[in-house]
Amino acid sequence: MVRDRIVRLYEVGGPEVLRLEAVPPEAPRAGEVRLRVHAIGLNNSEAQYRRGEYPLRDTTFPTRLGRECSGIVEALGEGVTSVSVGDVVSTIPAFDIQRGGVYGEWAVVPAGVLVSVPDGLSHLEAAAAWQQYLTAYGPLIEHSTLRPGDTVLITAASSSVGRGAIQMARLLGCRVIAATRNPAKRDLLLASGAHHVVVTDEEDLASRVSAITDGKGFRVALDPIAGPGLRTLAEAAGHQATIFEYGQLSRDPAPFPLLDVLRKSLSIRGYTLWEITLDAARRRRAVDFISGHLARGTLRPAIDRVFRLDDIVEAHRYIESGRQTGKIVIDVAGDSDGERQPRSP
């Protein structure tokens, strides 16, 4: 029996505003594809959207939510030739969620955002891959010239983006320093590939980075936190280093570290994955790179916990708890045989 439930949002607020409703599948328009969704990858930006803290841009309610899923193509809109009914695909997060949101058992998305799922990658892994690796790809590859032996600092390192960035930096031959507030996450981050872990609630980040790098500092930092910690990052940076700010998890102001910027010729750069996904040439390069490594198994999404679609509210509570150590995935089609517990890295 075909199930037709989707998640809709009628107002901003806490996780409880997410409503699971039965809605008949829509026919895809020209250039669109309808998917039978198997798994959904959750992202912090979706919790921000739900709370009204993410730019809504002319959103009308009710609206759908989510840009990252895997599934089976079940209907094609006019003019679509890039995929066929029955293809196993996942979505690149590069489309408007008002119509194309993927939270649910079906979704209608632009055909251009679909990529084939490599052999050996599960639906759960395919739904967990693209936002984390695309976010890391820009700072580490598209916008940097990292060389083997360079030091990369990754803050909030136990997040899905953080763990994806650790993998990608290791592919480049870089030395990886992972920063986390929680000492319980030290062993997991070392097992995930970090060469060094700094527990910032117990250790001074700038001093540790200086000791690890013999005073040279890091070359590139990926930071979704900002706030007062930006000053510490500038202190830990090496000469002509770049600090990529791709979020604002801290609610506190971020003082601009002018003296370190001048003294070290630093670059502090704002970054979002839209720089990659909305630029055709960059997106093509990123998809080729990431798909190739997913197929070879040299990139493998780390899944923290799997929820059912019925538990979407609880899944959003969990993503806001900050306890996750990797990707949170919604198993829509039962591909995980009901497993809902944290998985090993």
Percent composition of the chain: helix, strand, coil (DSSP 3-state, to 5) = 35, 25, 40
Predicted confidence at residue 138, as pLDDT, reads 97
Q: Is the pLDDT of residue 114 over 60?
A: yes
Secondary-structure class of domain 5-129+276-331 per CATH: alpha beta
Nearest-angstrom CA–CA distance, 325 and 302: 8
Lowest mean pLDDT among 14-18, 54-58, 113-117, 118-122: 54-58
226 sits in the region (left: phi over 0; alpha: psi -120 to 50; else beta) called left
Question: Could you tell me what percent of the chain has a pLDDT over 70?
Answer: 95
Q: Tens digits of per-residue pLDDT, 226-240?
A: 999 999 999 999 999
What's the confidence (pLDDT) of residue 31?
A: 97
Q: What is the pLDDT of residues 198-211, one digit of tens each?
A: 999 999 999 999 99
Residue 3 has pLDDT above 80, yes or no: no
Distance CA 50, CA 161 (A): 20
Q: Which residues contact 158 (CB under 8 A, 6 or more apart)?
A: 178, 180, 182, 185, 188, 189, 324, 325, 326
Give me the percent of the chain exceeding a pLDDT of 90. 86
Task: Judge whether 127 and 41 are in contact, CB under 8 Å.
Answer: yes
pLDDT for 216 equals 98
* Residue-range domain boundaries for the chain: 5-129+276-331, 144-270
Whether the pLDDT of residue 184 is over 80: the answer is: yes
Lowest mean pLDDT among 11-20, 94-103, 249-258, 289-298: 94-103
Average pLDDT, integer, range 135-160: 97
Secondary element (H or E) of residue 315: helix 312-321
- Does residue 169 surpass a pLDDT of 80? yes
CA distances from residue 25 to 10, 28, 29, 87, 188 in whole angstroms, order as listed: 19, 9, 12, 18, 41
Are the C-beta atoms of 255 and 235 separated by less than 8 Å?
no
How large is the average pLDDT for residues 136-153?
97
Average pLDDT over residues 287-294: 96
Dist CA 32 CA 46 (whole Å): 23
User: Residue 60 is encoded by which pair of tokens?
Assistant: 């009308």
24 pLDDT more than 60: yes
Task: Return the structure tokens found at 15.
Answer: 């996780």
Looking at domain 144-270, its CATH superfamily turns out to be NAD(P)-binding Rossmann-like Domain (3.40.50.720)
Average pLDDT, whole number, for the chain? 93
Question: According to the model, what pLDDT value does residue 339 have?
Answer: 39
What global pTM score does this model have?
0.91
Per residue in 42-101, pLDDT (tens digit) is 998 899 889 988 765 667 899 999 999 999 999 999 999 999 999 999 999 998 888 889
pLDDT of residue 58: 63
Start-to-end Cα distance in the chain: 35
The DSSP code sequence of 116-180 is EPPTT--HHHHHHHHHHHHHHHIIIIIS----TT-EEEESSTTSHHHHHHHHHHHHTT-EEEEEE
| Mean pLDDT, residues 14-28 taken together | 96
Residue 343: pLDDT above 90?
A: no
Q: Cβ distance 145 to 107 under 8 Å?
A: no
Alpha-carbon distance of 314 to 214, in angstroms, equals 45
| DSSP-assigned letter for residue 19 | E
Other Cβ atoms within 10 Å of 223 Cβ, number: 26
In which band, very low, low, confident or very high, does the pLDDT at 329 lie, cut at 50, 70 and 90?
A: very high
Which of 136, 155, 154, 133 lies closest to 144 in space, CA to CA?
A: 136
DSSP-derived 3-state class of residue 95: coil
Query: pLDDT at position 2, please?
Result: 56
The one-letter amino acid code at 29 reads R
d(CA 298, CA 166): 12
Least confident range of 59-68, 131-140, 157-166, 310-319: 59-68
